[in-house]
Structure 1
Amino acid sequence: MDFAFDARTEELRAKLLAFMDEYVYPAEAVAEEQRAALVSPWDTPAVVGELKAEARRQGLWNLFLPDAEYGAGLTNLQYAPLAEITGRSPHLAPTATNCAAPDTGNMEVLAQFADERQKKQWLEPLLAGEIRSAFAMTEPEVASSDATNITTHIERDGDDYVITGRKWYISGAMNPDCRIFIVMGKTDPDGADIRRQQSMVLVPRDTPGVTVRRAMQVFGYEDHSHGGHAEVVFDHARVPVTNLIGEEGGGFAIAQARLGPGRIHHCMRLIGMAERAIELMCRRAVSRTAFGKALAQQGVVQNWIADARVTVEQLRLLVLKTAWLMDTVGNKGAHTEIQAIKIATPRAVVGILDRAIQLHGAGGVSQDFPLAELYASARTLMLADGPDEVHQRSLARRELKKYL
């Protein structure tokens, strides 16, 4: 395993670091000011459009997508250090570079499984950053950590599918630019194979019977920058059967294909969050005095910073190994490592952010620093794309199987 950056990665890293310093970090405060003046808090601040135009002009666009026909054609190993950089400003930089969830996962699904008509209608405008999208899988009435529990019905009626169900925490759905949902539901609820009961269909947001009911909060945040996390009701929403993605019964397999890259992308960005937290800790420690000496001279603070650095280096190596395996042996061959990073990274980064908040005192939980919002994002990722316990269960079974 050689984790040295190749020439293309070095070039993109340099451009992206400069883009962050010159455009993204200064835009953080501007975006908040502009958002306060918007008619709707879900509208996009003008500065975001300016960032997207500049990122596209510089070639810092669709970096996440390994498909060279549609994206930048980077490997997971090449993309990892770039996603880490955008993770330092997770509520602006991924959107600015068209590398923000849930659009990334949806574009991967469309690139891999959609037919040509579907790609033309939905993938191309997503790739251009002209529209946003949402992935409607999680439901409030069942334990959605087990995707076979999904109860939304997708019933065939002649040349149409009729969708009935309720979803929640559907990321991006509050954004007025969200034009399309990828909806997972059951087309064969009584099928013998519980992993062949589900299908995925494309449902335009303006379809009669689709209601975006409310924004769901995360630790009191509505997450305007990502387009919120909505409760969405499908009440006999009707779409053509040609809106089926792939084949009937293929929804579970598509979900698994979508979640693998999504999990590693989240972990890449989490490392960037941790790096930002360490930087803020160090700046705070050298600028504040308590009990007669700088915080940087307090032993407990030194321990927090040292432990954070060790943890980040460990996580980065595990993420890079996972990226390398995904590139060389595929997602299935990297299954153990994908689960390992999904367990380890959010948990550890939450700990680092917690120490950074503590070091900042009241400021750490305020809106004057990004730490509270970063904490909310990182803590949510212990649930998103499968809670820790599900990954632990699967990983333990794989380990134990060697001895049975």
Structure 2
Amino acid sequence: MDFAFDARTEELRAKLLAFMDEYVYPAEPVAEEQRAQLASPWDTPAVVEELKAEARRQGLWNLFLPDAEYGAGLTNLQYAPLAEITGRSPHLAPPATNCAAPDTGNMEVLAQFGTEAQKKQWLEPLLAGEIRSAFAMTEPEVASSDATNITTRIERDGDEYVITGRKWYISGAMNPDCQIFIVMGKTDPDGADIRRQQSMVLVPRDTPGLTVKRAMKVFGYEDHSHGGHAEVVFDQVRVPVSNLVGEEGGGFAIAQARLGPGRIHHCMRLIGMAERAIELMCRRAVSRTAFGKALAQQGVVQNWIADARVTVEQLRLLVLKTAWLMDTVGNKGAHTEIQAIKIATPRAVVEILDRAIQLHGAGGVSQDFPLAEVYASARTLMLADGPDEVHQRSLARRELKKYL
């Protein structure tokens, strides 16, 4: 594995770093001020649309999508350092570059499994940043860490599917620009293969019977960058059979194909969050005095900063190795490493953010610094895309299998 970035990556890194300094960081307080004046907390601040226009003008658009027909055509290894940079402003930079979840995963699903008609109707406006989307899998009444548990029914009735069920923490659903849901449910609940019982269908937001019931907060925050999280009810929702994504029984496999890249993208951005936290720690440490000397001279603070730097360097190398493996041997060949980074990265970054908050005192838990909100996002990623314990269970089984 070559540790040097190639020429295209270096070019995009330089452009993206300049974009962050010139446009994104100055826009952070502006976005907060504008959001306070909006009629709905889910409306998009004007500055976000300005950032999107500038990012598109500079060619910093759809960087996540490896298919050159639709996106930037970057490998995972090329995209990793770019996603890390956007992670330094996780609530502005990803949507500004059209690289925000859940749209990224939904675009990947449509690009890989969608029909030409589905791509024309939904993928193209998503790629253009004209609409947003939601992915509806998690349910409140079952342990959704086991995706085979889902109870939402997708029943065939002539030329239509009828969808009945309740979902929650459906990312993107609160945004008024969210126009399409990818919904996972069971088309064959009694099938012998529990991983062939599920299918995915496309449900336009304005379909009768689809109700966005309420917003779900995350540690008390409303996650605007992802378009919020919602509880959504599907009451006899009817869509044409042509809205099926892929094939009947293919929902579980599609979900796994979607979640693999999503997991590494989250880890890439988490490293950026940790870098921002280290920067804030250092600035705070050299500017504050306690008990007669700067915080930067306190041994415990020096230990926190040193440990954080060591941790980030370790995590980055593991994420880059995983990206390289995904590019060279495929997602299945990189399964162990994908699970390893999914376990290690959120856990370690949460600890770094926790110490950064501690170093900032009362300011650390306030709205004057990004740390508390970023902490909430990072801690949530120990649950999102599969809780840590599920990945630990799977990874341990793979290790033990060698000795059985």
TM-score by length of 2: 1.00
Q: CA deviation at 1:55?
A: 0.1
C-alpha distance in 1, partners of 2:281/2:167? 39
| Residues 291-327 of structure 1, C-alpha deviations (whole Å, 9 max, x = no match) | 0000000000000000000000000000000000000
TM-superposed deviation, 1:289: 0.1
Deviation at 1:2, TM superposition (A): 0.6
CA contact (8 A) 2:212 2:231 kept: yes
**Offset at residue 226 of structure 1 (A):** 2.1
CA distance in 1, matches of 2:129, 2:20: 19
SS at match of 2:126: helix
Q: Report how far residue 223 of structure 1 moved.
A: 1.3
Kept after mapping to 1: 8 A contact 2:219/2:376:
yes
- Compare 225-234 and 190-199 and name the one that shifted more: 225-234
Which residue is equivalent to 1:381?
A: 381
Q: What SS class does the counterpart of residue 275 from structure 2 fall into?
A: helix
- In the TM superposition, residue 41 of structure 1 has moved relative to its aligned partner by 0.7
Once residues 14 and 224 of structure 1 are traced to their aligned partners in structure 2, the CA distance between those partners, rounded to angstroms, is 28
2:257 aligned partner: 257
Q: Distance in 1 between matches of 2:39 and 2:381?
A: 30
Partner of 1:42: 42
Q: Deviations over 1:52-97 (max 9, x none)?
A: 0000000000000000000000000000000000000000000000
1:252 Cα deviation after fit: 0.3
Q: In 2, Cα distance between the equivalents of 1:117 and 1:24?
A: 35
**Structure 1 residue 166: Cα displacement:** 0.3
Does the CA-based 8 Å contact 2:100-2:225 persist in structure 1? no
| Contact in 1 for aligned 2:200/2:250 (Cα 8 Å) | yes
1:87-113 CA-partner distances (Å, limit 9, x unpaired) = 000000000000000000000000000
- SS for the counterpart of 1:195 is helix
Contact 2:217 2:229 (8 Å CA) reproduced: yes
How many angstroms apart in 2 are the aligned matches of 1:261 and 1:278? Answer: 26
Residues 224-254 of structure 1 show CA distances to partners (whole Å, capped at 9, x for unaligned) of 2321110000000000000000000000000
In structure 1, what is the equivalent of residue 358 of structure 2? 358
Identity of aligned residues (%): 95
CA distance in 2: counterparts of 1:3 and 1:64, whole angstroms: 20
Distance in 2 separating the partners of 1:13 and 1:35? 29
Partner deviation per Cα, 1:22-75 (whole Å, 9 max, x = no partner) = 000000000000000001111000000000000000000000000000000000
The answer to whether the 8 Å contact 2:366/2:372 transfers is yes
Indicate the SS of the match to 1:200.
strand
Task: Find the aligned partners of 1:9 and 1:262 in 2 and give their Cα distance.
Answer: 20
CA distance in 1, matches of 2:353, 2:276: 9
Q: What is the aligned partner in structure 2 of residue 227 from structure 1?
A: 227
Whole-angstrom CA distance in 1 between matches of 2:66 and 2:59: 15
Distance 1:175 1:3 in 2: 39
Residues 270-291 of structure 1, C-alpha deviation per residue, up to 9 Å, x if partnerless? 0000000000000000000000
3-state SS of 2:4 partner: coil
Say if 2:215 and 2:230, in contact at 8 Å, map to a contact too.
yes
| Residue deviations 1:141-194 (CA, integer Å, cap 9, x gap) | 000000000000000001000000000000110000000000000000010100
Q: How far apart are residue 222 of structure 1 and its match?
A: 1.2
- Give matches, 1:152-171, under 5 Å: 152-171=152-171
Structure 1, unmatched stretches of 5+, are: none
- The TM-score normalised by the length of structure 1 is 1.00
Number of residue equivalences: 404
State the 4+ residue runs in structure 1 displaced beyond 2 angstroms.
Answer: none
Q: Aligned partners of 2:382 and 2:5: how far apart in 1?
A: 29
Q: Does 1:73 align with 2:100?
A: no
What corresponds to 1:54 in structure 2?
54
Rounded to whole Å, the distance in 2 between the matches of 1:394 and 1:190 is 25
